């Protein structure tokens, strides 16, 4: 039976059952979506549906309420609520027609598995018996509905086997483990650590953490065993190290600071602990704490000059110690560029992106916005060959695709970018940037790109710009080790300690107001921006179009 037929049959049968329901049999009033939706009280209805399900999870009408809520959330594009009520139907009511209808809404078995994977990934750290049983019930129903495609992917299988083990469902656990790929030794080692009863929790956590770089699901499994440790065990140095590592990897510096203070107290001569702790103090600490962090780094480097962490400690200390003056230089320079743009907005902006992949291949992208001439160009290049290209002007567009090597001309029909840019601040003090590029068939969509940037409230004064720069740099774990002018160009070097081993991630930003260009180099990415007029930007040209 096709997916479409399954969906139709499920819905018809379910609605048929609804017609036979007698409202008088309801113990309490069931939330009615019709009047709420008609009155525009969608969120209010969803809240009432949640409240009903919280107190009537096993009631006769629970499946119907969850399905109504799912349909309301879907039609009003409430994505989070769709996920929530779909999960309730799949896990709590998988045997019902409503539950099977929810399962029919996935495109295929892979989509269903990815949905279930999201549920277990979110809950694995706090997984307990009730949730494990509900989740495994949902997995069983999903596998019955969609077939073996659901039970695939090593990461999903390991997390599901863990839930099955906790739920006491030996059959599902063995089925998941039997489907693991045997040609991956790391996966087999993870499975042994998780399910071998002879290995204690501490060794499981440490062993899984060591495998997490090669088997990413090990990180999720670590959170599960960490969550079940007694308080005394969590204070052990090896556990503090694992917790600190994961918090730093997630950029959760506030939480990491308390953990790493305990770690460095337990192992004061450990280079990794000293660097980690000082790094978090430099990010979230006050002036006194930042100064103490610099002192601790320099003290460690002097006492342990042969340590593999000595150079990292020395360089980080230098970057943190001078970060205020260097950031001030950066704010002044970017502020001057914004002032230039306000006085004379650039009419032409070009951007080039070069991405070098680990396998040696390269991906290049080029975009040109000419606001004055209402012209737009974009190309994507793979290993020297143009893969996709577009050029637009008021009279029409030209399109090229490598798999269909013909240049299409859309006379009288053009595709233009419609950029959006904004910066907002959340209640927690963090900033969010929005950069979007939608399309339009009207040349008027080619708005003044730089004008949109300079009009942002958070870029309107030096003080506000400084707050944004501090958030983008320091609060993200970076510190400037260099900010110098050379031949009219500002060169900024940023450092961010590697979490798992000594050394740094490095980024270089070069800003040249006179030549009207910027470059950013980060790992395998190179970004170059030219702005001004045709003459000022002629040095940055896009790739040649195919003949």
Res 25 pLDDT > 50: no
Q: What is the pLDDT of residues 415-459, one digit of tens each?
A: 888 888 889 998 888 888 888 778 887 777 666 678 888 889 999
The predicted structure's pLDDT at residue 118: 96
Residue 503 CB neighbours (<10 A) = 14
Q: Please, are residues 222 and 249 in contact by the beta-carbon 8 Å criterion?
A: no
Q: What is the pLDDT of residues 281-309, one digit of tens each?
A: 999 999 999 999 999 999 999 999 999 99
Res 27 pLDDT > 60: no
Q: What is the pLDDT of residues 174-198, one digit of tens each?
A: 999 999 987 889 999 999 999 999 9
Between 220 and 26, the more confident residue is 220
pLDDT above 70: percentage of residues in the chain: 94
The predicted structure's pLDDT at residue 21: 40
Q: What is the pLDDT of residues 110-146, one digit of tens each?
A: 999 999 999 999 999 999 999 999 999 999 999 999 9
Q: What is the pLDDT of residues 378-414, one digit of tens each?
A: 999 988 889 999 999 988 899 999 888 788 888 878 8
Res 221 pLDDT > 90: yes
Q: What is the pTM of this model?
A: 0.82
* Alpha carbons 344 and 359: distance in angstroms, whole number: 43
How high is the mean pLDDT of the chain? 90
Q: Which residues contact 29 (CB under 8 A, 6 or more apart)?
A: none
The predicted structure's pLDDT at residue 9: 40
Q: Which helix (H) or strand (E) holds 397?
A: strand 396-401
Between 16 and 389, the more confident residue is 389
The predicted structure's pLDDT at residue 40: 92
Q: What is the DSSP letter of 514?
A: T
Q: Please, are residues 45 and 132 in contact by the beta-carbon 8 Å criterion?
A: no
Q: What is the DSSP letter of 124?
A: G
Q: What is the pLDDT of residues 485-524, one digit of tens each?
A: 988 899 999 999 999 899 999 999 999 998 899 999 988 8
pLDDT above 90: percentage of residues in the chain: 74
Q: Which residues contact 499 (CB under 8 A, 6 or more apart)?
A: 245, 248, 249, 276
Using DSSP, state whether 389 is helix, strand or coil: strand
The predicted structure's pLDDT at residue 446: 66
The structural domains of the chain, with segments of one domain joined by +, span 3-238, 253-321, 325-537
For 8-17, 159-168, 317-326, 361-370, which range has the lowest pLDDT when averaged over its residues?
8-17
The predicted structure's pLDDT at residue 402: 87
Res 469 pLDDT > 80: yes
Q: What is the DSSP letter of 521?
A: E
The predicted structure's pLDDT at residue 428: 83
For the residues 246-257, what does the mean pLDDT come to?
96
The predicted structure's pLDDT at residue 384: 84
* Alpha carbons 480 and 506: distance in angstroms, whole number: 10
Q: What is the pLDDT of residues 71-119, one digit of tens each?
A: 999 999 999 999 999 999 999 999 999 999 999 999 999 999 999 999 9
For the residues 456-484, what does the mean pLDDT come to?
95
For the residues 245-265, what does the mean pLDDT come to?
96
Distances in whole angstroms, Cα of residue 372 to Cα of each of 337, 455, 460, 529: 20, 19, 25, 18
């Amino acid at each position: 039976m096709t997916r479409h037929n399954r969906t139709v049959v499920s819905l018809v049968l379910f609605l048929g059952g609804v017609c036979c329901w007698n409202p008088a049999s309801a113990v309490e009033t069931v939330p009615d979506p019709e009047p709420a939706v008609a009155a525009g009280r969608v969120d209010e209805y969803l809240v009432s549906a949640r409240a009903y399900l919280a107190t009537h999870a096993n009631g006769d009408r629970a499946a119907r309420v969850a399905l109504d809520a799912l349909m309301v959330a879907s039609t009003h594009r409430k994505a989070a609520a769709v996920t929530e009520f779909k999960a309730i139907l799949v896990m709590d009511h998988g045997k019902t027609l409503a539950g099977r209808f929810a399962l029919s809404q996935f495109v295929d078995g892979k989509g269903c598995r990815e949905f279930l994977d999201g549920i277990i990934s979110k809950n694995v750290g706090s997984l307990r018996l009730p949730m494990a049983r509900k989740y495994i019930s949902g997995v069983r129903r999903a596998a019955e509905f969609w077939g073996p495609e659901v039970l695939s992917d090593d990461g999903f299988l390991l997390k599901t086997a863990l839930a099955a083990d906790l739920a006491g469902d030996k059959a599902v656990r063995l089925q998941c483990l039997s489907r693991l790929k045997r040609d991956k030794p790391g996966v087999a080692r993870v499975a042994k650590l998780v399910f071998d009863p002879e290995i204690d929790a501490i060794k499981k956590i440490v062993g899984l953490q060591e495998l997490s770089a090669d088997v990413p699901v090990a990180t999720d499994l670590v959170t599960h065993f960490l969550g079940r440790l007694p308080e005394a065990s969590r204070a052990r140095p090896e556990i503090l190290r694992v917790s600190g590592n994961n918090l730093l990897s997630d950029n959760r510096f506030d939480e990491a600071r308390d953990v790493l203070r305990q770690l460095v107290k337990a192992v004061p001569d450990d280079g990794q602990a000293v660097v980690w702790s000082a790094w978090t103090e430099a990010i979230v600490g006050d002036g006194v704490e930042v100064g103490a962090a610099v002192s601790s780094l320099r003290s460690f480097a002097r006492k342990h000059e042969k340590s593999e962490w000595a150079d990292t400690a020395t360089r980080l200390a230098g970057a943190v110690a001078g970060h205020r003056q260097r950031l001030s230089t950066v704010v002044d320079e970017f502020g001057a560029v914004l002032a230039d743009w306000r006085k004379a907005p650039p009419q032409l902006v070009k951007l080039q992106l070069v991405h070098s992949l680990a396998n040696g291949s390269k991906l290049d992208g080029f975009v040109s916005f000419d606001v004055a001439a209402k012209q737009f160009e974009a190309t994507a290049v793979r290993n020297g060959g143009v893969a996709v290209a577009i050029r637009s002007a008021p009279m029409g567009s030209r399109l090229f695709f490598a798999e269909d090597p013909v240049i299409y001309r859309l006379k009288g029909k053009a595709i233009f970018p419609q950029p959006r840019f904004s910066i907002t601040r959340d209640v927690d003090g963090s900033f969010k940037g929005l950069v979007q590029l939608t399309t339009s068939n009207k040349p008027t969509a080619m708005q003044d790109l730089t004008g949109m940037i300079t009009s942002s409230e958070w870029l309107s004064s030096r003080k506000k710009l400084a707050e944004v720069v501090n958030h983008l740099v320091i609060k993200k774990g970076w510190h400037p080790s260099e900010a110098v002018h050379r031949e009219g160009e500002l060169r900024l070097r940023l450092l961010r300690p590697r979490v798992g081993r000594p050394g740094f991630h490095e980024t270089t930003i070069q800003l040249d107001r006179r030549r009207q260009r910027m470059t950013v180099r980060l790992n395998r990415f190179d970004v170059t921006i030219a702005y001004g007029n045709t003459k000022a930007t002629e040095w940055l040209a896009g790739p040649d179009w195919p003949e």
